[in-house]
Structure 1
Amino acid sequence: MLSGLCVLVVEDEPIIAADLDETVEGGLVIGPCSTITEARQGARTPRLNAAILDVNLRDGDITPVLEALLARDIPVLIYTGAELPPKLRARHPDLIVLQKPLQPGRLLLELKRVRRHAAHAASH
């Protein structure tokens, strides 16, 4: 289903990270990254196709990583138990924000949707 897809997963809760890793079955998972430092390194992966990001990690918020990914036109899903900070929502009103917990099938659907949208935008 996700064959050939390279997805950065940023999540600091081990059980949720394991679930995300399993959900992206068939694709290549970079991570799961549990710190901003790991996430920044993962965001530099050359063949990255998408990212699933938690907003608040133990060592800070995901804003610098999110900005780096968006600058590279990498499709991003925000997967959080919190609200998207107002500054981020104002800067990026089109971000898809999914609230934890979420059924794996819905997460896969949204991941495929952002990937298709990005591919469509790149072709125009």
Structure 2
Amino acid sequence: MIDHSANTKSERSFEHLRVLVVEDEALVGMLLEDMLSDIGCAHVEVLSRFADGLQAAETGSFDLAVLDVNLDGVASFPIAEQLIARNIPLLFATGYGVDGMDPRFSDIPTLQKPFFFSDLERVVSQALEGA
């Protein structure tokens, strides 16, 4: 599932990124951390709880955030609102597809689980271009 052949252009464009990942599934969090590092991101912080994610969104220094839509039964939309207020680009990761999305966030790029390396790279680029 992971294609480790990230191209040089992507590595250059993502090389200084500090990324916040808020994902309650440990294996998915580790996969995202590895894949984001593989595309060249400089630092990836993975948090698994809503409260920790909200605090990081309020005070952390990140260039991009990846939010699981459902964090142990709690929607991550308040975290997204905080990131948007701080002009931090974000993307959602979800297994629910568009049906699980709040219409207020229809312009935020969404990564459909399960995903491939190329999907993540594409959606990260979309999130950064839309910022």
CA offsets per residue over residues 37-82 of structure 1, 9 Å max, x none? 1101221212x11111101111511011010001111111110111
Q: TM-score, normalised by structure 1?
A: 0.83
* Partner of residue 97 from structure 1, selected from 110, 120, 126: 110
Runs of 4+ in 1 over 6 A off after TM superposition: none
Alignment of 1:15-26 (within 5 A): 15-25=27-37, 26=40
Secondary structure of the 2:130 match is helix
**Does 2:115 correspond to 1:78?**
no
Match of 2:44 in 1: 29
Q: Which runs of 5+ in 2 are unaligned?
A: 1-10
The offset of 1:23, in angstroms, is 0.9
Match for 2:110: what amino acid?
V
Match for 2:108: what amino acid?
L
Q: Distance in 1 between matches of 2:129 and 2:110?
A: 17
CA RMSD of aligned residues (A): 1.6
The number of residue pairs the alignment matches comes to 114
Q: TM-score, normalised by structure 2?
A: 0.79
Match of 1:122 in 2: none
Secondary structure of the 1:39 match is helix
Match of 1:54 in 2: 68
The offset of 1:21, in angstroms, is 0.1
